[in-house]
Amino acid sequence: MNMKKILIIISVFLFLASCEKFDDMNKDRKNPTKVTGESLFTGAQKNLFDQMVSSNVNLNIFRLFAQYWTETTYIDESNYDLVTRTIPDNHWDVMYRDVLKDLKEASTIIGSTNYPLDPIADAPTIKKNRLAEVEVMSIYVWAQLVETFGNIPYTEALDINKPSPKYDDALTIYQDLISRLNAAIANLNAEFPGIGPADNMYGGDVTLWLKFANSLKLELGMLLAGVPGQESLSKSTVEDAVNLNGGPFTSNADNANLPYGDASPNTNPLYMDLVASGRHDFVPTSRFVDYMNSLDDPRREFYFTLFNDSIYLGGTNGAINKYKNYSHVAPRIVEPNFPGTIFDYSEVEFFLAEAVERGYSVGGTAEGHYNAAITASINYWAAQNQMTVPDSVISKYLTNPLVAYATAGSTYQEKIGNQKWIALYNRGFEAWTSWRKLGFPTLVAPPNAFSDIPLRFTYPIEEQTLNGANYEAASSAIGGDLVSTKLFLFKN
């Protein structure tokens, strides 16, 4: 072989090798071309908890709505400025793009005919469990969006072929969510495993998923209570949630928690917001602290630090507050591994107390459920701090005339609403929802606020510009795209 042919062969070889290298450059090694349904579920679950737990004022200001915390220096959000930071847009985007979209894709992959499962006889049942768990998580998110905005894109949402989706009627969505939840509950079989380790909330424990699903069903039913024309659906939904399929949560061990880790990026967002950032943006409000002081509430040490080692002292809501002059958020809450929570046992018991007052057949007495709710809250917070509160202390608290069910208020809404506010501390969205439904506690907007306390988020600005016709129709249907517009759940 002459030298010319050898050079040609070498050139061809080098060309082919270089093509392979250029082809490699087209591969995104950080984003795999194939993902599993389980990994999408894991990511969606974490994105959901991060959004609900966060105190970043670009994302989540529900603690400010519920007047648990107020700001120190930059006080726009404490005064209900939602627009400057486009907070509704950010919340909307996280829920649709980072949670619901991934959950939908997870469901598509797990539900596909070539979905890999061990070739065992029980594979179809395991697959149904996994799909049901994804479905229950999705229903939680859809309900949250309805409770935040009202009418929202639903039937045409998440469809790449419908870039301008129509908005569906909020009540119709809620009714459909209950039907979907009933179907998901029917598909959960506790004798077989679920998603497994990819489920960071329950580790795939289907028994706990059933309890979570029934607790969510209880909540949807109770939020429908009092809505004209929905009395029968509300009652049947609540009673089924309590009396069928194992029922809702029965202890703090059932709580819907996400365990966070000690190192980034898996720490609780509060640690990043309040510690790692080095910022001192929040103090508890005097409204909340003073109310707990008036009750000599045993949870204060779990919620706040002492000011000057002597008193619990809150700042003025909506005003500039010097951080050093007040109590702060308690240390355990801002530790990196403090768990996030989206539903707990005390909430269930408060719903049951209200259900008894409304004449629903859920067993027990309103007072009994009310006391169980408060006790569960105290015990949960004590356990988080590796402490116990003696039964005698809890009993003394429950018999305090300002706490005791017989004397704590003139209506059950006042009794339950005030104590639920305390129990839901650090869970701003749920506390805001409870206040909108029950009308208690008595909250007053700061004197220089942009509006009264918001009753809903306004629609994202991007919806006005990119989906204008559907936005206008939705705005008109709910009575105006205003923070003062009462959503159908909260009109009575």
Is omega for the bond preceding 339 within 30 degrees of 0, making it cis?
A: no
Continuous segment of H or E residues that includes residue 69: strand 69-71
Alpha carbon 81 to its chain centroid, in Å, reads 22
**Half-sphere exposure in the Cβ direction for 317 (13 Å, CA):** 22
pTM of the model: 0.93
Nearest residue to 374 via CA among 354, 401, 404 = 404
Q: Is 284 helix (H, G, I), strand (E, B) or coil?
A: strand
Domains and CATH numbers, the chain: 37-67+85-257+448-490 (1.25.40.390), 269-334 (no CATH)
Conformational region of residue 203, where left means phi above 0, alpha means psi within -120 to 50, and beta covers everything else: left
Helices then strands, each counted (H, E), the chain: 19, 6
Q: What is the DSSP pairing of strand 340-343 with strand 69-71?
A: unpaired
Neighbours of 424 (CB within 10 A): 24
Torsion region of 458: left, alpha or beta (phi above 0 gives left; psi -120 to 50 gives alpha): beta
**Measured between alpha carbons, how far is 439 from 418 in angstroms, rounded to an integer?**
9
Please give the pLDDT value at position 84: 94
Q: Give the Cα separation of 183 and 243 in Å (integer).
A: 16
pLDDT at 118: 60
Q: What is the reported pLDDT for 7?
A: 41
β-pair partners for 71 = 282
User: What is residue 305's DSSP assignment?
Assistant: P
> What's the pLDDT at 120?
62
Residue whose C-alpha is closest to residue 279's, from 73, 22, 48, 139 = 73
What is the SS3 assignment for 64? helix
Radius of gyration of the chain (CA): 25
- Tens place of pLDDT per residue across the chain (492 aa): 454 444 444 444 444 444 444 444 444 444 445 789 999 999 999 999 999 999 999 999 999 999 999 999 999 999 999 999 999 999 999 999 999 999 999 999 999 988 877 656 678 899 999 999 999 999 999 999 999 999 999 999 999 999 999 999 999 999 999 999 999 999 999 999 999 999 999 998 999 999 999 999 999 999 999 999 999 999 999 999 999 999 999 999 999 999 999 999 999 999 999 999 999 999 999 999 999 999 999 999 999 999 999 999 999 999 999 999 999 999 999 999 999 999 999 999 999 999 999 999 999 999 999 999 999 999 999 999 999 999 999 999 999 999 999 999 999 999 999 999 999 999 999 999 999 999 999 999 999 999 999 999 999 999 999 999 999 999 999 999 999 999 999 998
Please report the pLDDT score of residue 121 as a whole number. 60
